[in-house]
Structure 1
Amino acid sequence: MKKVKLILFLLVSTYTFSQTTDVITGLTQPISLTFKANELYFAEYNGGNGKISKLNVETAAVPTEVIQNTDWSIGLLFKDDDLYFGQLIDGNISKLAINNIPLGVTEIISGIRPYDFALDGNILYISDYIQDKILKIDMSSPNPTLIDVVAGLSTPYGIALHNNELYIAEYEGNKVSKININDPNPIVQEVSSNVLGPSGLYFAGNILFIAEADGNKISHIDVSSNQTSVIETVTNLSEPSDLAIYNNELYITEYNANKISKLDISAILSTEDILVQNNKIKLFPNPALNFIQINGLKEETEYKIYSINGAKVSDGILNTNKVIDVSVLSPGIYFLSLDNVYNLKFIKK
């Protein structure tokens, strides 16, 4: 039986874009992370006695524990105010209502060994690293059923959606592949084979960042080009397992170093063809009374507005230079998330 064990492999490189800085140290085998507004949620394996914690990356210096004894939680993903995660030992997918934590964990479905998730509307895609499959469930169903999407993979770990294509990190295959989720019988296509034990995947526009666990590095590739070879982003990490982006900084779980680090990727993003570029996006007026407007977008963008407490208060599709009505919001501080890549803070008067 395959085990989720990220094998340490040291790779010395003479070139790197930048260096990481520590966000949180002293953890116990952090393996998954995700953002909700400016709050970073992360899961620790903790020798099998897993737990989930959170950190406000703008205001807090010390993380807050969310829940203990999660049986090796993995694959954190938000849908509205529910935090979905896998529990590897019990082999299930569960959720936690973060606005009502005393209710505890609710099991969604069992009989699966999930590693990561990707969400397309109400359809949740799941990588099962034991069965070497991608599966899916309809989260709107009161009794969701596991449906096979594609099989015959080589230990699928991280997955990420880009348009109608699902990208898959095949850990033991040392490659990244993709399938078209609109195809009733999808064919697995290889994207890049020169990656060492890929674990986590994360998109910023057309740029796919890859956590190479066995290579101890992060690499990236522009999926809109014909490029097949990845570019090194940063090296000399310690078993990077998962990735997330907030304000053009890439957050990384370093499993073997027991920490979460981050890397400024604005230099990469500003030179690639992506949706959001740090020096072009503008939100105004700020403070706002009745509306906010965003300039600098290249195309229609999904947006979400969160309160300072992390609760989603609005969402929709933002056309280029179109205003967002905020007149119904109570006065206070809010965060506008664009395509889950860039977060802008504004004040509602």
Structure 2
Amino acid sequence: MKQIYNLLFLVFGIFTINAQTTVVTTGTTNPYRLSLSGNDLYISEFNSGIISKLDITAPLPTTKSNVITGLNRPMGIVATGNYIYVAEHFGNKISRIDISAPTATMSTVISGLNNPTGLAIKGDELYYAETGSNSIFKINLTDAVPTAVLVANAFNAPYGIFFKNDILYIAEFSGNKVSTLDVASGATTGTDFITDFNSPIDLTINGNTLYVAEYTANKVSKVDILAAVPTKEDLVSGVQTPIGLAANTSEVYIAEFDANKISKYNLPTLSADGFVLSKSLQLYPNPSSNFIKVSNMEKALNYTVYNSLGQQVLKGKVEKNESIDIQNLSSDLYLFKLEDGNTLKFIKK
């Protein structure tokens, strides 16, 4: 076991920042929205009326394959289980594609809509945005004949929507902002989250990081949604009319509308070189499975914990001689960064 821990420290110590934009495929026609399901990335191709997919584990650049054709300007797309739900913007309807059989089939879920755009699923309910009415609606997917229920209105061109727990994040294209809506509270209007975007058209969340496609700025931004004062930062610039996003723990996939391609941004892993390791402070017990303490502390300090992928997994404030509960963390090697600049390593068994 000791050899394994030593190996983990060695591997962790040589991690480097790996952040670059890579072409995934160039074979799409005006790709609009993306949805990840396992290793499959589904793509709505706006002008060609196609839903296509590609395997994100295939060597790059890869070739996409068509799932189904004949849609009327498909925009929002969300894949779940054996189904893909698609907002047909000019068709004013939401369609469902059954991908359980070798040949996909399509049926109408609800019609008579007003230019539907973004889609998001929460439980048995499908939420959709309409730019024609500047509203958010929902339907229950278990109903034999789903009926639209108004959730909230008074948005300014809502194009992209995404859930984080009960909070629906909404990209308001003409409002140049991202707003939020707590669907559990019964609120009927959104709350401004960040208001200085440049034509935000889609968004996605992985962990506690919000990624936003800024269409006319040709860039993708990121926001820590748990920050006391959420502030946007550039993730990647120089992408051509980014219009759709999908993310997992290691990559952000970007639909570049005018470039007719899908690219990806490799999220950075931690580099131990970027931290000043403390010699005076220590974490104990280390390794540990239940809790850790910081020795030789003189005052309370804020801390942040990062896993071996560089993802923030824990944050808080620790007092002198206080125990920090790590029972819910996975077995891994972690960096424990204090606000005074000290950084320590520990292993969760």
For the criterion TM > 0.5, the same-fold answer is: yes
Q: Secondary structure at the match of 1:157?
A: strand
Q: Write out aligned runs for 1:155-304 (5 A).
A: 155-267=157-269, 277-279=307-309
Residues 230-267 of structure 1 show CA distances to partners (whole Å, capped at 9, x for unaligned) of 11111111110111113411000000111000001234
Distance of aligned partners of 1:269 and 1:225 in 2 relative to their CA distance in 1, 3 Å threshold: farther
| Partner AA of 2:79 in structure 1 | F
Is the Cα contact below 8 Å between 1:205 and 1:274 reproduced in 2? Answer: no
Report the alpha carbon displacement of residue 59 of structure 1 after superposing the two structures with TM.
2.8
Identify the residue that residue 84 of structure 2 maps to in structure 1: 83
Aligned length: 271
Contact 2:201 2:243 (8 Å CA) reproduced = yes
Cα distance change on mapping 1:247 and 1:167 into 2, 3 Å: closer
- The residue type paired with residue 112 of structure 2 is G
Q: TM-score normalized by structure 2?
A: 0.71
> 1: distance between equivalents of 2:217 and 2:116?
23
Residue 66 of structure 1 is matched in structure 2 by 67
Gaps of 5+ in 1: 1-16, 282-295, 299-318, 323-349
Instruction: Confirm or deny: 8 A CA contact 2:42 2:54 kept in the other structure.
Output: yes
Change beyond 3 A, Cα 1:101–1:155: farther
The answer on whether the counterparts of 1:71 and 1:89 sit within 8 Å (CA) in structure 2 is: yes
What's the CA shift for 1:18? 4.6
**Structure 1 residues 240 and 276, CA gap change in structure 2 (3 angstroms):** farther
1: CA distance, partners of 2:100 / 2:19: 37
- The whole-number CA distance in structure 2 between the counterparts of 1:276 and 1:98 is 38
> Aligned in 2, Cα 1:185/1:245: closer, same or farther, shift over 3 Å?
closer
Show CA shifts across 1:270-289 (max 9, x none).
Answer: 99x999945389xxxxxxxx
Q: TM-score scaled by structure 1?
A: 0.71
Which residue in the other structure is 2:135 paired with?
A: 133
3-state SS of the aligned residue for 2:156?
Answer: coil
Letter in 2 for 1:59: A
- Specify the SS of the correspondent of 2:77: strand
Verify the 8 A CA contact 1:109 1:144 in the aligned structure 2.
yes
Where do 5+ consecutive residues of structure 2 fail to align? Answer: 1-17, 275-302, 315-326, 331-349
Q: Distance in 1 between matches of 2:255 and 2:79?
A: 18
Per-residue deviation at 1:204? 1.1
Structure 1 residues 162-194: Cα deviation after superposition (integer angstroms, max 9, x where no partner): 121111000000000011101223342111111
Find the aligned partners of 1:156 and 1:274 in 2 and give their Cα distance.
34
Check 1:132–1:37 CA distance in 2 against 1; reply closer, same or farther (3 A cut).
Answer: same
Give the conservation status (yes or no) of the 8 Å contact 1:205–1:275. no
Please say if residues 211 and 217 of structure 1, whose CA atoms lie closer than 8 Å, have aligned partners that are also in contact: yes
Conserved? CA contact 1:127–1:157, under 8 Å: yes
- CA gap of 1:114–1:269, structure 2 versus 1, over 3 A, is farther
Q: Distance in 2 between matches of 1:111 and 1:274?
A: 49
Cα distance 1:105–1:274, how it changes in 2: closer, same or farther (>3 A)? farther
